[in-house]
Structures are given as structure tokens and as C-alpha cells.
Amino acid sequence: MNIVWSLVFDYWNFIMRLVYMGTPQFAVTPLRALAAAGHEIVGVITRIDKPAGRGRSVTAPPIKLVAHEMGLAVFQPKRVRDTEAMEQLQTLNPEAIIVAAYGQILPKDILTLPKFGCLNIHASLLPLYRGAAPINWAIIRGERETGITIMQMDEGMDTGAILMQERIPIEPRDTAGTLAGKLSLLGAEMIAAALPLIASGKLIAVAQDGSTATMAPLLKKENGLIDWAFPAVEIHNRVRGLTPWPGAYTFLDGKMIKIITTEVSAGRGEAGLLYEKDKNILEVGAGSGLLRILCLQPEGKKPMTAAEFMRGHRDVAGKKFGATSTKSQAPNSK
């Protein structure tokens, strides 16, 4: 990780008054690290509770649950730019605001409020993958490395100057879920290291080169629909990049099947056509190459291995994965 910890130790007793903004699991480890470093976290701001899961029950964001566990004050404004939220921040009077996957763009009034500004823990090597889903898109697009950028926020979408940046490899079996865990840990180490260096003036902000920027837009459920005309390696990367959410899926006999784990196999076949090599191996043709299905989840059932699936679908060879459900295949559907 190549962080120069000796510099940090010179400022081991430095304490900063912080507001922390974050929402998903990715934001949890940095929050814990800042608390462990002794910083005064005067408030945690997160998104409102939302329906989640099959039952669509209202669920609190992961960071809210952890903040309550830590005894921290939690605030959930619908819009952080609203007057009430701004007044709350002024009352908290932070020296810095730390942001980790919060989910809203901060207005100028908030960006300029703290003495040391607003610092973002962004899960990419900026200016690459600006946006809401940098971890997912890095895997989907076949990148071999990514990292964390500690950034001084401005009014743009991840356009602020870079204060610190570290790289890690994307392993062949990494999914968005496993990679997010690694990056969360790295982000925690880096933000803990960055704060005393920022306060002492030892970190120099470097402007991003916007000409090399790429985007990582917000993912939606429909991004998970597999197009079997794509090369097998691209489908494999999409499956990895969409696990655990929104998940990659296809349809067989009009019912949705979630594709959970795959690997690229030698050979070639017709796009979307299913092949059984034996009772345990299920492969699918793609635009180029074959994709081997290791784990999948039929609609309404639990995840299972390909072998388990084939034992319940003995006539699966020769069928085709498609892009539509039974309902969308109806004669009058559009």
C-alpha cells in the first residue's frame, strides 16, 4: 500500500472535529478507523431508510446501524442541501467533513463550511471512474487494478483535486462485493493517514486531468440483463461486476435465472445456447467463446451449482437463454 506511516506518527495525537457522511457497507470501516484514531465524530449523516429485500421492508443504511452501535448522533436529511440540513451542519461546526459513498452531491455552502473542507474517499484511481458505481464498472470493463483516491471535494462529480492515491490489483475471482471490502479497508487506512498530513500541510492537492476521465454511472436492475451476443470474457466480467447487486440474469423457458458465478471456457458455440459436457458441467455459447456456469439461482429458488441445476433440468441441453420473460413474450406485448 506504500503509505508513509512514519509521517503520520509525528502527529499521532492530532484530533479533528469531524462530520461523517456515508451510506453503504463500504463506508463502515473508514468510520470505525476514524473513531479508533481518536477523532471527535460529532455527527453521522446518511440517506433515509428505504425498502429493501424481497419483502420490501423499510431498512436502515448499514452506516446508520453501525453509528448507533458506536453511540454517534445520526442525521438523515432527505436532501442535504435543504436549509434544515445546512443549519444542522453549522451547529455541528466540523473542522472537516469526510464523505464515503454518501450518494448526494454537496453544494458549495457545505463544501466551504469546514476549515479543512470536505474530503472524499473515492473507490477508483481518479480521474478514472467518476460517479456512483466505480467498483462495479472497473470490473465490468476488465480493469486489472483499481484503488482509493482521497480527494478535496468541489462542486463537480468527483472532479476535485487529489490528495492521496493508492493502487491495488483486481484479482481474477474478485466480485464487486469482495473488491468493495478490500477498498473499504484501504480507504480506512488512507483517511486515517491523510488527516494529520492535511492539517500539517504535508499533502499537496494535485488537480485532476479531466481529459482522461471516465464515468461510472449509477447501476439499475436492467443493467444485469445478459446479452449473449457479447464475448464470453465480457459476460464473465459483467457477472463479477454486478455481484452481489444488481445481479446478472437471463431467462430460460420464460423464467428468470440469476447467474452468480462463471468462468470462461475454451471452445465456441451459438450465442445463448446451453451445452452439457457431462452431468456436472454446463456451458453457454457467447458472441465469441464459451461461458461455464458454476453457480446460478432459478427464479423462486435458492442458489445452486450447475450440477444441482442439471439434475432438476435433465433436458436443458440444446435450449437457449433469452432476454425476455413469459410475460414479455406474449403476442400482444411490446
Q: pLDDT at position 3, please? A: 46
> Does position 2 have pLDDT exceeding 90, yes or no?
no
Average pLDDT value over all residues in the chain: 92
The model's confidence at residue 334, banded by pLDDT at 50, 70 and 90, is very low
Q: Is the pLDDT of residue 4 over 70?
A: no
Residue 251 clears pLDDT 80, i.e. is over it: yes
pLDDT of residue 134: 98
Q: What is the pLDDT of residue 331?
A: 35
Question: What's at 182, amino acid-wise?
Answer: K
Helix ranges restricted to H, the chain: 5-9, 28-36, 62-69, 83-92, 108-111, 134-140, 176-199, 232-241, 306-312
Please name the residues in contact with 329: beta carbons below 8 A apart, sequence gap of 6 or more: 254
Go through the domains of the chain in sequence order and give each one's CATH number.
Answer: 5-212 (3.40.50.170), 221-329 (3.10.25.10)
Contact indicator for 145, 124 with CB cutoff of 8 Å:
no
Cα 210 from Cα 159, distance rounded (Å): 8
Cα–Cα distance measured from residue 323 to residue 227, given in angstroms and rounded to the nearest whole number:
7
| pLDDT category of residue 325 using cuts at 50, 70 and 90 | low
Residue with cell 419483502: 55
Q: Is the pTM of this model over 0.75?
A: yes
User: Does 12 score more than 70 pLDDT?
Assistant: no
Per-residue model confidence (pLDDT) at position 279: 83
Least confident of 117-121, 149-153, 290-294, 326-330: 326-330
| All residues at 6 or more sequence positions from 121 whose CB lies less than 8 Å from its CB, including other chains | 27, 30, 98, 99, 100, 101, 148, 150, 187, 190, 191
pLDDT tens-digit map of 189-244: 999 999 999 999 999 999 999 999 999 999 999 999 999 999 999 999 999 999 99
C-alpha to C-alpha distance for 282 and 279, rounded to whole angstroms = 8
